[in-house]
Amino acid sequence: MNQQQFDAFKAEMRQMIQTRIERPINEIHQRLGHIEQVQREMDAKMDGLDSRMGLIEDRLEQQSGFFTTIKSKLGHIEEDHSKRLARIESKQDGLEGHFKKVLDGQRKMLEILERLGNATDS
């Protein structure tokens, strides 16, 4: 393989890396950003719920039966939030694992390219 063929091969491999690795990595970054945004929004809503819950508790202490019902409903809201947050974190962990695998693949391909370059230089 002459230098011109090797340069063409390297260009083709770089194009393949960009197409098969870099673009999916960028998509994963975008998805992670979206998941983090959703998580921040849910945290903000939860903070709002916590604040409202404190006000409601103060007002409803006088009416213990009604207070118990409201507290139970707020507990369900908190439980639902925790489940949703756990699902989001699970998806985020899955994406991070996939991202690490893609990066490992990219590193291996670059090592191969470097070895090929060193082999042709020798």
For residue 41, the model assigns a pLDDT of 92
Q: What is the mean pLDDT of the chain?
A: 85
Dist. CA 24–CA 32, nearest whole Å: 12
CA atoms within 13 A on the CB side of 69: 3
Alpha carbons within 13 A on the beta-carbon side of 86: 6
Q: Is the pTM of this model over 0.85?
A: no
What is the tally of structural domains in the chain?
1
| pLDDT digits 0-9 by tens, 56-80 | 888 767 677 776 787 888 888 889 8
**Taking the CB of residue 88, how many other CB atoms lie within 10 A of it?**
15
Per-residue exposure over 36-65, b if at least 16 CB sit within 10 Å of its own CB, e if not: eeeeeeeeeebeeeeeebeebeeebeeeee
Domain span at 83: 3-121
- For residue 57, what is the enclosing H or E element? helix 23-60
Residue ranges, the chain, pLDDT below 70: 60, 62, 67, 121-122
